[in-house]
Amino acid sequence: MILHTLLDYDVLRVIWWLLLGILLIGFAVTDGFDLGVGTLLPFVAREDVERRIVINTIGPIWEGNQVWLVLGGGAIFAAWPHIYAMSFSGFYLAMFAALLALILRPVGFKYRSKKESPAWRATWDWCLFIGGFVPSLIFGVAIGNVLQGVPFNFSPDMRMTYEGSFLGLLNPFAVLCGLVSVAMLVMHGGAWLALKTEGAVAARARGAASVAALVTIVLYALAGLLIWKYVTGYQWTSTHLPNGPSNPLAKTVQAGIAGGWLTNYANHPWTLLAPVLGFAGALLAFVGLRARWEGLTLIFSGLSIAGIILSVGASMFPFIVPSSTHLASALTVWDASSSHLTLFIMLVCAVVFVPLILIYTAWVYSVIWGKVRPRDITHGDHAY
């Protein structure tokens, strides 16, 4: 209990804000190349054996990688209940579409090779494409909407009401953010295939990932320009109560601030490391793909993903989900969390279990390390 006393409420809130970002990065970097590989499947593999090679580069590990998504959802539910209520209600149809697409992935893995029919296998190949492309797009669209503000409000008894529509989520800036997400995950998936395959598949993957790296740089820069010129930010205008109760309505917020999301970069220049990492990682990934630095390229693309995600968090802090219609309902680090005790107990659990997950994940990757070759498919009893 001494440690519980030493860790003030505001400190725990920031720690869990950071942990949420780490979980999102963990999901994007690990399961991200699974999504990228699925998106690339119909384009980098032209024969059945080639497509099976692509599938088997991620077949043994995709379930473990998806643990980060489960952890992220669990962390939001337990540490940020107001955010969970808003996102799983307001984004319900979008999340349902993403989950439906993700469900196609395990089904596709299991059933694709059950029949020799080319039409059967081609159908499942496109299902695996949907399972990669659709979640990649929707997750980025969600971030784009969060940056603009989401139409929701809380009543005095903390009942949340979402006032938007599914089609309203598909606005131009949000779609642009979705395309940034698709591009960066295709880059990452291509880097993974370049590492895990050889021959024609690896060559096509390098080409596709090189284009995706350049597209990531261009679209990310365009999104930043729009945030500077057109996407207005939000600012907390009342007295800060970092240790206060989690009541989103106990504050005042100002909206319509041109370039408001760039204020943190001006006030804390070290946060510029995040967008710099986003750009530099993608550029180094492009160079690595052309130079065939297979292992380094995967690291560079992962760093680019981490930088892009961190740049969103750094620019919005302390906001997590601002409200575009009822400004006081905006959810921030200081008023959207669970209780002090809950955050502390969860932190203890995280300190114990997250390292175990990392150790197990590292062991799994060491076991399956190496390239997937045609003979592993034609003579492998456990190949997909």
Query: Whole-structure pTM over 0.95, yes or no?
Result: no
For 5-54, how does the pLDDT look when each residue is reduced to its tens digit (9 = 90+)?
Answer: 568 888 999 999 999 999 999 999 999 999 999 999 999 998 999 999 99
Taking only the tens place, the pLDDT of each residue in 276-294 is 999 999 999 999 999 999 8
Looking at residue 212, its pLDDT comes to 97
Average pLDDT for the chain: 90
pLDDT value for 383: 67
Look at residue 163 in the predicted model and tell me its pLDDT. 85
Torsion sign across C-alpha atoms 272, 148, 251, 346: negative
What pLDDT sits at residue 166? 78
Dist. CA 230–CA 232, nearest whole Å: 6
**pLDDT at position 114 over 80:** yes
Q: What is the model's pLDDT at position 314?
A: 94
Task: Show me where the domains of the chain are located.
Answer: 11-372
Res. 2: pLDDT tops 60? no
pLDDT in tens, 283-335: 999 999 999 998 899 999 999 999 999 999 999 999 999 998 888 889 999 98
Range 266-275, long-range pairs (CB < 8 A, 24+ positions): 268/314, 271/314, 271/315, 273/307, 274/307, 274/308, 274/310, 274/311, 274/313, 274/314, 275/220, 275/224, 275/307, 275/308, 275/311
- Please check whether residue 276 is in contact with residue 303, taking contact to mean a CB–CB distance below 8 angstroms: no
Q: What is the pLDDT of residue 37?
A: 95
